[in-house]
Amino acid sequence: MQTSHRAATTATPANHLQLVQTDGRAGFGALRAELHARTEDRDLAELWAGLKLAERKAVAASAGMEPKDALRSIESMGKHDRDAIRAAIGRMSRYAQQLNGRLGTPRKAHPSRALAAMARSALEEGDHAGATHWLNLIEQGAE
C-alpha cells in the first residue's frame, strides 16, 4: 500500500508574488513577476476596466459572449471567458493594424512641428523677430 507524501499546499495569488524579488539577474525577477501577473490575468483586468461599455460589448461579441457579459468584471469570469476575451482583443488589434496598413494612412506630424522647424531656422539665422512670430503661432494653436 502506497501513501502519498505530497503535502497539500494552498497559495493565495497575492502571497506568491511577494516571493518574487529583484535578484540582479538582468531583470529576471521582474519578468517572473510579470508572468505571474499575466497568469492571474491582471493585465487583462486592467485593460478591461479601462474600456468603455460599448468597447466591452464589442469585445464580448467578438469573444462569442452575451452583451450582458460586458458588465461583468474579469475577476468574476471563468478562465474560458477570460481566454476568449484575450483572444478577441488580439484579433481586433491585428485587424485594426491590417486596416491601417491597407488604408495607407501614415501618421501625420503635429502641425506645430513645421512651425517649430521654422522658428528653429529663424533662430539659427539670428532672426529673433521671425522666431518670435513662429513661436506665437505655435502658442495660438496650443490655446
Rounded to whole angstroms, how far apart are CA atoms 84 and 21?
32
pLDDT digits (tens, 9 = 90+) for 87-135: 999 999 998 888 877 777 666 677 778 888 888 888 888 888 888 888 8
Rounded to whole angstroms, how far apart are CA atoms 87 and 47?
13
Q: What is the value of pTM for the model shown?
A: 0.48
